[in-house]
Amino acid sequence: MNLRRTAAMSRKEFTQVRRDPYSLIVVLFLPLVQILLLGYGARLDANHIPVYVLDQEGSQDSQALLKAFQASPYFDVIKAVDNYHALVRAIDADQCKLGIVIPWDFSERLADAGRTSVQAIVDGTDDNSAQLAEGYAQAVVATYASNVQLDWFARYGLSQQATTPLSVDYRTWFNEDLESKNFIIPGTVALVMALMGALLSSLTIAREWERGTMEQLIATPVTALEIMVGKLVPYLAIGLADATLCAVFAVGWFGVPFRGGSGAFFLATTLFLIVILGIGYMISVATKSQLGASQYALLVTLLPTSMLSGFAFPIDQMPAPIRAITYLVYSRYYVSALKRIFLSSAGISDLVPEVVAMTIYALVIGFFATRAFHKSLQ
């Protein structure tokens, strides 16, 4: 490989990116837009879930339960209605996400049997929010129930000491506040790298064909390997710069911690970019059309990175067959590395499995990419 020719190719490619408005948008704005959108938009927490209540009893007990809901930061009790029909209409009209129905015999049954129930109607159109609302509602009711139980034990003379329910003190590590932004934003870097890398690299060869410059290029002594390396090196550099930008933004704007080593961050990002750029390049060679190439490239890079990498959907909650497939998705190793670099203090030595897996991918993709292009018009 001749370095002078490779450098000439890199310089030309970089100049073209600098002059192309489309490429500049991809390089400069896409990362920021992505991280802002996902940082703000893809919060998986639910706060202030709007609630309607139908208190058919209106007793002291039922009011106490509703107060528990009111006191919770997760719920806003917006309105009390007086019939079931009004409650259903409110859910249909999307005025509330949760409806709570306290039956007319609530406190009577509580007193008689010590067992009673309330009905919670959850708007399930958004499955994620519905699950959260349901979970929070159960928590509120459980707290209320245990208070009632404690009162009951106390009233019947049982020792407080003996009956205090086992209390579980949760402590979550690495994401103490259990904030979804800490879970989402590190993975966003992977999404930005996949999107940017695929969009830019998929154009490289196709653009030469479409603009008619390929014929001239083939007629020079530059080799296929020099073309590939020369074309992709600028995008690797741009990718690393964008990754840094994303990390700075994640920490500075969203307050996501960055506890791991920056060496590990750049190593993992470089390996991931090699895979993404190699794939984009091969697609560009195969399709010879910029539009087709960018679409295929997004399909094979962005889609698995957003769906199967554990970026937003935790891998251990996936069904077993899908979970097995994720081991083949190169992005899962990068996302896993990113999360650990940001949230735990992982350095390179802590990320051996991820680094090994990504190195294997980078070598395999790199090998095939060097063989993809032949200097011929046929």
> 142: which residues sit within 8 A by CB, 6+ positions away?
none
Structure token pair of residue 301: 């890079």
* DSSP H or E segment with residue 64: helix 60-71
3-state SS, residue 44: coil
Taking the C-alpha atoms of residue 218 and residue 234, their distance in angstroms, rounded to an integer, is 21
Q: At what angle do helices 262-287 and 330-343 cross, to 10 degrees?
A: 160
The residue (of 119 and 220) whose beta carbon lies closer to other proteins is 220
**Minimum separation from the CB atom of position 204 to other proteins (A):** 13
Taking the C-alpha atoms of residue 50 and residue 78, their distance in angstroms, rounded to an integer, is 6
Taking the C-alpha atoms of residue 27 and residue 196, their distance in angstroms, rounded to an integer, is 7
User: Which residues contact other proteins by CB under 8 A?
Assistant: 2, 4-5, 7-9, 11-12, 15-16, 19-20, 211-223, 375-378
**Minimum separation from the CB atom of position 211 to other proteins (A):** 7
Q: In 99-121, which positions are buried (b, 16+ CB within 10 angstroms) versus exposed (e)? A: bbbbbeebbeebeeeeebebebb
The residue (of 195 and 214) whose beta carbon lies closer to other proteins is 214
HEC letters along 83-99 = CHHHHHHHHHCCCCCEE
**Minimum separation from the CB atom of position 356 to other proteins (A):** 37
The residue (of 15 and 149) whose beta carbon lies closer to other proteins is 15
Centre a 10 Å sphere on the Cβ of residue 174 and count the other Cβ atoms it contains. Answer: 14
The residue (of 207 and 332) whose beta carbon lies closer to other proteins is 207
**Minimum separation from the CB atom of position 292 to other proteins (A):** 21
* DSSP H or E segment with residue 265: helix 262-287
The residue (of 20 and 179) whose beta carbon lies closer to other proteins is 20
**Minimum separation from the CB atom of position 280 to other proteins (A):** 20
Centre a 10 Å sphere on the Cβ of residue 25 and count the other Cβ atoms it contains. Answer: 12
The residue (of 28 and 68) whose beta carbon lies closer to other proteins is 28
The residue (of 160 and 378) whose beta carbon lies closer to other proteins is 378
**Minimum separation from the CB atom of position 210 to other proteins (A):** 11
> 377: which residues sit within 8 A by CB, 6+ positions away?
214, 215, 218
**Minimum separation from the CB atom of position 198 to other proteins (A):** 22
3-state SS, residue 327: coil
The residue (of 161 and 216) whose beta carbon lies closer to other proteins is 216
* DSSP H or E segment with residue 237: helix 224-252
**Minimum separation from the CB atom of position 291 to other proteins (A):** 18
277 close to 364: Cβ distance less than 8 angstroms: no
The residue (of 102 and 229) whose beta carbon lies closer to other proteins is 229
**Minimum separation from the CB atom of position 293 to other proteins (A):** 19
